[in-house]
Amino acid sequence: MPHTIARPEVTPQEANPPGSTPHTQSSSSVTIPVELNVNGTTYALSLDPRTTLLDALREHLHLTGTKKGCDHGQCGACTVHVNGRRQNACLSFAATHEGDTITTIEGIGEPDALHPMQAAFVECDGYQCGYCTSGQIMSAVALLDEAIGPDDADVREAMSGNLCRCGAYQNIVTAIQTVRGKR
């Protein structure tokens, strides 16, 4: 049974200790209560209504496996699962996800019990610098439940929303096809 964890926000005194220069405040100091179910745990947060799901995960819940690449939905580094479907976390507001089930890279495996896709990425060298890897793996895991053709070209098309600056595409496709049983 999931449990709720309240994450207190930093108080102004903690953010600006006496004698320090105060941080510039945004034009809006309005916050709203938001409950997010992330990796099986419900978190009660107080967020600026403009907070993206990506920023809520990284800055408020400290789940930093989901990466901020372009912040425009063009690279896929921020891919998470929302209700089992892949989604770019930088393109939606956190408040719109109350009641949704959100899964991040931290929620699909453990260091001593990797998800089969994580293990295949390691085995097939499906990463180089590693920056895009969490988004690539999250898309690849979701792809397993989608109607995707059997060929490498089908996988490349299905993964086209995830960019790799290092060009590890062939190894990424090999890892995915290994898990799909196509290799």
pLDDT digits (tens, 9 = 90+) for 38-77: 999 999 999 999 999 999 999 999 999 999 999 999 999 9
- With 60 as the cut, is the pLDDT of residue 154 above it? yes
What domains does the chain contain, in order, with CATH numbers?
A: 4-21+28-107 (3.10.20.30), 116-180 (1.10.150.120)
Non-local (6+) Cβ contacts of 36 within 8 A are 42, 43, 45, 56, 61, 94, 97, 98, 100, 102
Classify 82 as helix, strand or coil: strand
pLDDT, tens digit, 9 for 90 and up, residues 72-128? 999 999 999 999 999 999 999 999 999 999 999 999 999 999 999 999 999 999 988
- With 80 as the cut, is the pLDDT of residue 11 above it? no
Classify 177 as helix, strand or coil: helix
Across the chain, mean pLDDT equals: 89
Non-local (6+) Cβ contacts of 169 within 8 A are 156
Beta bridge partners of 79: 88
| More confident: 9 or 139 | 139
Q: Work out the average pLDDT over 159-176.
A: 94
- With 80 as the cut, is the pLDDT of residue 24 above it? no
Gyration radius of the chain over CA positions:
18
Classify 28 as helix, strand or coil: coil
pLDDT of residue 80: 98
Do the strands 79-82 and 101-103 form a parallel or antiparallel pair, or are they unpaired?
antiparallel
Closest C-alpha to 137, from 80, 74, 52, 59: 80
| More confident: 15 or 142 | 142
Range in 1-10, 42-51, 136-145 the model is least confident about: 1-10
pTM equals: 0.83
| More confident: 183 or 149 | 149
